[in-house]
Amino acid sequence: MPFARPTLTELIKRVTSDIASRLVSQAGSVLRRSLIGILGRVYAGAVHLLYGYLDWIARQAIPDTAESEYLERWAAIWKITRRPATFAVGPVEVTANAPITLLAGTMFQRQDGAQYASLVDVDLVAGTNAVDLLAVEPGAAANTPAGISLTLLSPVAGVQSTATILGDGIRSGTDVEDDASLCERLLARIQQPPQGGAVSDYVAWAKEVPGVTRVWVYPMQMGPGTVTVMFTTDDDPISPIPDAATVAEVQAHIDEERPVTATVYVVAPVGDPLNFTIKLSPNTASVRAAVTAELSDLLLREAEPGGTILISHIREAVSIAAGEVDNQVIAPAADVVSPQGHMSLMGTITFQSLQEGSDGAFGR
């Protein structure tokens, strides 16, 4: 039978009654502001704190309820460490008026104050040049999509002060792994111990790399003795499809862990934006936001390379959105089946009033 922790009110009544029962001369009910009542509240408050501390200690004694420091200590027993924050990196387009060397460590700044430094000395030519930057501070906040402008923190003679982010943007910056993710990896390690190259082993190895969230493993897809690993970086605000640098990092890490006889191919899935057209009632901003959140959560749970998003699940996601009264999913009109190596990503949502015409579009 589980132990029921008494409430503060129950403890006050118990302590007060216990004191009163031991005073022979005490008769009648205890007044609220009597000495007995005051002592009862003081002692009950102290005991209530002790109960709370013991309850907290009990949670730390079990891996799946432990918090922060104690969760890390549990994880360390199975040689699992919290993934650290990583630095965002990516190219920018710098325009020079004449040939000049841009020194390593040249600082650029985003409008909100986030700073980036050039990685190496770059010999600029007159015109546009690509320069690789590294965020000064680690974390996902430094990730910035392509097209955003950065400004030189200090003027450089012969170089225009504004640079534009290129390619896939400045990305791959991740925050320190949170407790929920660390606990998930710890429980997976306990429940699925290493087996020298089982599917669960490849999933665990991939998730040891910062930023990796979902992993799929396909044995012998490229022939006997081969293993194909696909993964996503769902916490990346730019795209859940990993960039080449992250793919190479996961490949290198798995190569250190894999069985010597296995040939492993780590690849990024191809993202196919899934666009929606939905008639909604009421067609308000709050309901549209709730529908968008539910559809995003659906894709996070069910989208996978070569997988299927059931139309019934799409309709269900729209129907359970907070504030929704009625809806009609116009597009897609049937189950969404992804080709091998492709997976559905959140595209554009076009909302229409159920009684009226189109009201607008929202998308990631």
> Dihedral (C-alpha) 62, 235, 303, 226: value to the nearest 10 degrees?
-80
> What pLDDT is recorded for position 357?
45
**pLDDT tens digits, 192-218:** 999 989 999 999 999 999 999 999 999
Please give the structure tokens belonging to residue 241: 């499809």
Q: How far apart are CA 243 and CA 88, in angstroms?
A: 12
Q: Which residue has the higher pLDDT, 90 or 2?
A: 90
Higher pLDDT, 10 or 85: 85
pLDDT at 60 over 50: yes
Q: What is the CA radius of gyration of the chain?
A: 29
Average pLDDT, the chain: 91
Q: Are 276 and 331 in contact (CB under 8 A)?
A: yes
pLDDT at residue 364, as a whole number: 42
Q: Is the pLDDT of residue 359 over 60?
A: no
Phi, psi torsion values for 341, nearest 5 degrees: 85, -5
pTM over 0.85: no
Structure tokens at 74: 């549990």
What's the average model confidence in pLDDT over 273-299? 96
Q: What is the pLDDT of residues 304-336, one digit of tens each?
A: 999 999 999 999 999 999 999 999 999 999 999
CB 116, CB 135: distance < 8 Å: yes
For residue 17, what pLDDT is reported? Answer: 79
Give me the mean pLDDT over the 23-41 stretch: 65
| Band of residue 355 on the pLDDT scale cut at 50, 70, 90 | confident
Percentage of the chain modeled with pLDDT above 70: 94
Beta strands 270-281; 342-353: pairing state: parallel
Q: Are 177 and 108 in contact (CB under 8 A)?
A: no
pLDDT band per the 50, 70, 90 thresholds, residue 42: confident
- Residue 110: predicted pLDDT: 96
List the structure tokens of 261.
Answer: 């006889």
The pLDDT of residue 25 is above 60: no
pLDDT at residue 26 tops 70: no
What's the CA gap between 172 and 86, in Å, rounded? Answer: 7
Query: Which CATH architecture does the domain made up of 89-165 adopt?
Result: Beta Barrel (2.40)
Q: Which CATH number fits domain 192-267: 2.60.40, 1.10.150, 3.30.70, 2.70.70?
A: 3.30.70
- DSSP E strands in 192-300: the ranges are 214-219, 226-232, 263-267, 270-281
Maximum CA extent, the chain: 100
> pLDDT tens digits, residue range 101-142?
999 999 999 999 999 999 999 999 999 999 999 999 999 999
Residue 249 has pLDDT above 90, yes or no: yes
69 pLDDT more than 60 = yes
pLDDT of res. 11: 82
145-158: average pLDDT? 94
